[in-house]
């Protein structure tokens, strides 16, 4: 290569290098999260209709409303039993009817069969970067017919669905013992390079009392075992956790304890989850459980500076209530 060619190549890379440098500096200096607001959305046992509220989910609508969901379990705190979906809706950001009314449910048995599939807990994603731009990806765990993590894919905005990636348990379709490989409840997140990272509950503490992390490089078609990692920084008591990618930063929430569901904590990574910043935000030291995060996608200050978290919170046990937390990511500004 000539000297002139080398200079031209350097100049062609300069914008990318400047962008990376600016982002790294901004991320490393400015991210200092604090809790800006908190309110209880649901408290179990306050009405005769609901014994316990569990499994929180939060998301946003294109019009800027925040929607928080939970399972309202009528008779007990158990997974099996009568329940309905509870919804709280924030309209502080101008909304008409987005999220107010819903169409009737539609059975997908003819497309997916009748085997048991438990999505999430958490949210599905729509791919924004190649490959498979626009694809809907919903990941969850199987039970009864087979356990492990499985993803459902739709390339026509949810009209039709098919099975995609899978990460099966070992031994598969057989009773499990402690320390067996049993991928369980999970949250997929698309990174800015187009890959999908799936943060997974390590249900039997295989290899460590920490989170499993699987990667898909083909838009959710596969989760190669060669890409499976165990993140020892993300200590975990086997629980459903929250994950969110915002402006190149990966965020994670869970009860940060390897034995008990306590010490609810927010962590963040500046390098796609390869490592985590040592600083953390401890949101609640007491009993805490499942969680979910979201953020708004607009260009306003509110959209850029905040993320929103819902999590199970209690004083004696983690399932007493579900709390909403607004986190200011840049408290020094």
Catalytic residues: 79, 290, 312
Contact between 153 and 162 under an 8 Å Cβ cutoff? The reply is: yes
Contact between 184 and 168 under an 8 Å Cβ cutoff? The reply is: no
How far apart CA 151 and CA 194 sit, in angstroms, is: 16
* Angle 241-291-50 from CA coordinates, rounded to 5°: 135
Instruction: Quote the tokens at residue 18.
Output: 């400047």
CB crowding 266-285: b at 16 or more within 10 Å, else e: bbbbbebbeebeeeebebbe
CB crowding 201-216: b at 16 or more within 10 Å, else e: bbbbbbeebbbbbbbb
Other residues' Cβ atoms within 10 Å of the Cβ of residue 25: 10
Contact between 263 and 288 under an 8 Å Cβ cutoff? The reply is: yes
The dihedral through the CA atoms of 116, 139, 54, 65 has a sign that is: negative
Burial class (CB in 10 A: 0-12, 13-18, 19+), 73: buried
Instruction: Quote the tokens at residue 316.
Output: 């004696």
């Amino acid at each position: 290569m000539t000297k002139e060619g080398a200079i031209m190549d350097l100049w062609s890379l300069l914008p990318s290098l400047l962008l990376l440098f600016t982002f790294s500096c901004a991320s490393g200096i400015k991210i200092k999260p604090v809790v800006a607001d908190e309110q209880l959305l649901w408290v179990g046992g306050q009405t005769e209709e609901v014994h316990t509220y569990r499994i929180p989910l939060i998301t946003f609508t294109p019009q800027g409303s925040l929607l928080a969901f939970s399972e309202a379990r009528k008779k007990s705190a158990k997974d099996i039993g009568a329940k309905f979906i509870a919804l709280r809706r924030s309209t502080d950001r101008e909304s008409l009817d987005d999220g107010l009314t819903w169409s009737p449910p539609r059975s997908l048995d003819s497309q997916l069969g009748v085997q048991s599939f438990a999505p999430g807990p958490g949210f599905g994603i729509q791919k924004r970067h190649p490959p498979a731009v626009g694809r809907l990806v919903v990941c969850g765990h199987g039970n009864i017919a087979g356990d492990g993590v499985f993803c459902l894919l739709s390339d026509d905005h949810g009209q039709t669905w098919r099975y995609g990636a899978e990460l099966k348990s070992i031994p598969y379709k057989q009773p499990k013992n402690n320390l067996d490989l049993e991928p369980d409840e999970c949250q997929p997140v698309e990174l800015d390079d187009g890959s999908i990272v799936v943060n997974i509950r390590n249900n039997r503490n295989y290899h460590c009392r920490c989170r499993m992390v699987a990667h898909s490089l083909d838009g959710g078609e596969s989760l190669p075992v060669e890409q499976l990692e165990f993140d020892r920084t993300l200590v975990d008591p086997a629980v459903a956790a929250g994950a969110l990618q915002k402006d190149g930063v990966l965020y994670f929430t869970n009860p940060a304890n390897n034995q008990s569901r306590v010490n609810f904590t927010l962590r963040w990574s500046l390098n796609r989850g390869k490592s985590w910043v040592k600083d953390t935000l401890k949101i609640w030291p007491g009993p805490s459980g499942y969680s979910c995060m979201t953020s708004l996608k607009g260009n306003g200050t509110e959209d850029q500076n905040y993320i929103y978290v819902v999590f199970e919170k209690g004083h004696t046990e983690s399932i007493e209530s579900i709390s909403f937390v607004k986190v200011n990511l840049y408290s020094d500004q």
